[in-house]
Amino acid sequence: MALADTLEAAWYGKGRAPWWSYPLAALYGGVSRLRRVMYRRGWLSSVRLPVPVIVIGNISVGGTGKTPLTIALAEALRQRGYRPGVVSRGYGGTERGPLLLGELPDPAQVGDEPCLIRASGVPVAVGRDRPMAAQLLIDAGCDVVMADDGLQHYRLQRDIEICVIDGVRRFGNGRLLPLGPLREPLARLSQVDFRICNGTQAQQGEVPMQLEGGLARALVDEQLCSLEVFRGQRVHAVAGIGHPERFFDSLRAQGLDVIPHAFPDHHAYTSGDLAFGDGAPLLMTEKDAVKCQRLALPHWWAVPVRAVLPEAFVVALCARLAEIRRAKR
């Protein structure tokens, strides 16, 4: 973790990048450009599906809010008569797939994010081969495929690209990995269909998105209560997500006295990880809660959030989908 911390500090202006990150970033950029050219010219094969494909991703590493956005968009599409399904690689799980998830999937097998999306009622398929996994969704009756964290996975052709941006950290120093936090150059933003900014600092051409919470859910008995109950209390806050500080800051904004515990993204928890030696309430993200349910104690709580988007964006997205469906007929 020391190396990761050093690099992240350099990315966001709090340190100096190691010398070896400069040539590696140049190499990474060259390989990334070559790979895109090979797909564009057909030297690497890609698959086009008979239904519209929406890819949701980002060009930077770390959490930007892709999963809450995916869940919110799937619900918005269902309300408008679509039958969306989500395809995911299943990062953090052991399943190679393709596999269509059942009602109670195991996060150790299929990954935490697919389990969280499936819990919202959306069909989910996981697999290293995304086109094959997506076909399972189509066979199950889905008429729109949404690819979670799929912006750089070019083997599955896409009709709509959505890039999610961290409104606070933005793109750091604007450099490619490992010199900076970018998976692709900033110029890639001009090629996506929609840019979603998670936070209040949306810039021109970006769609603002807010993550709203305010409730806590007991892991043991599903009891719901307001976060106001914990105001002024000392609580343990657990986050194994791409940007844990966002979660900790959201609790502090609610007036909680937070003891932060950051874990690596997609961390597989054990009971020892969460034995803090006192009876203080333990609050965690929903993504962490799907992996901790079997370990849960009465004072453990999940803090759900939902993505709130402008209606104009949803209208514009559905208009694009209608055009694409007509073109595919």
pLDDT in tens, 23-74: 999 999 999 999 999 999 999 999 999 999 999 999 998 878 899 999 999 9
Q: Nearest Cα to 284, choosing from 255, 241, 253?
A: 241
pLDDT of 1 reads: 54
pLDDT at 14 over 90: no
**Per-residue pLDDT tens for 115-142?**
999 999 999 999 999 999 999 999 999 9
Q: How confident is residue 90, by pLDDT bands cut at 50, 70 and 90? A: confident
First to last CA, the chain: 50
Residue 29 CB burial class (10 angstroms; 0-12, 13-18, ≥19): middle
- For the sheet containing 53-57, what is the strand order? 99-100, 124-126, 84-88, 144-148, 53-57, 160-166, 194-198, 207-212, 306-308
Q: Where are the beta strands (DSSP E) in 73-221?
A: 84-88, 99-100, 124-126, 144-148, 160-166, 194-198, 207-212, 215-218
Nearest alpha carbon to residue 121 among 156, 160, 79: 79
Task: Tell me: pLDDT of 243 over 90.
Answer: no
pLDDT of the residue at 185: 94
Q: Which of 169, 167, 165 is nearest to 14 (CA)?
A: 169
Provide the pLDDT for residue 256. Answer: 95
The whole-angstrom separation of Cα 252 and Cα 255 is 5
- Average pLDDT of the chain, as a whole number: 93
Going by pLDDT thresholds of 50, 70 and 90, the confidence category of residue 303 is: very high
Peptide bond into 178 cis (omega under 30): yes
* Partners of 184 in the β-ladder: none
Retrieve residue 328's tokens: 């595919």
DSSP for 55-73, please give it. Answer: EEE-SBSS--SHHHHHHHH
CA angle, corner 136, sides to 135 and 139, nearest 5? 85
281 vs 301: CA distance, rounded Å = 7
The two tokens of residue 248 are 């900790």
Say what the pTM is.
0.93
Q: How far apart are CA 36 and CA 269, in angstroms?
A: 37
**Secondary structure letter of residue 214 according to DSSP:** -
Residue 13 to residue 134: CA distance in whole angstroms: 40
Handedness of CA 90, 306, 207, 14 (dihedral sign): negative
> What confidence category does residue 22 fall into, taking pLDDT thresholds of 50, 70 and 90?
very high
The predicted structure's pLDDT at residue 126: 96
What local confidence, expressed as pLDDT, does residue 150 receive?
85
Q: Which tens digits make up the pLDDT trace of 208-234?
A: 999 998 899 999 999 999 999 999 999
Please state, in angstroms and as integers, the Cα–Cα distance from residue 26 to each residue in 12, 30, 177, 186, following that order. 19, 6, 9, 15
Residue 64 structure tokens: 């930007």
Provide the pLDDT for residue 217.
96
Q: Name the pLDDT band for 4 (thresholds 50, 70, 90).
A: confident
d(C-alpha 274, C-alpha 179), whole Å: 33
The rounded percent of the chain whose pLDDT value lies above 90 is 79
H helical segments located in the chain: 2-11, 21-40, 66-79, 107-110, 112-119, 130-139, 244-253, 286-292, 311-328
Residue 183 has a pLDDT of: 95
Q: What angle do CA 301, 209, 236 make, to 5 degrees?
A: 20
pLDDT tens digit sequence for 153-197: 999 999 999 999 999 899 999 999 999 999 999 999 999 999 999
- Judged against a pLDDT cut of 80, whether residue 329 lies above it is answered with no
Domain extents in the chain: 27-83+143-210+308-328, 214-304
- Residue 307, classed as helix, strand or coil, is strand
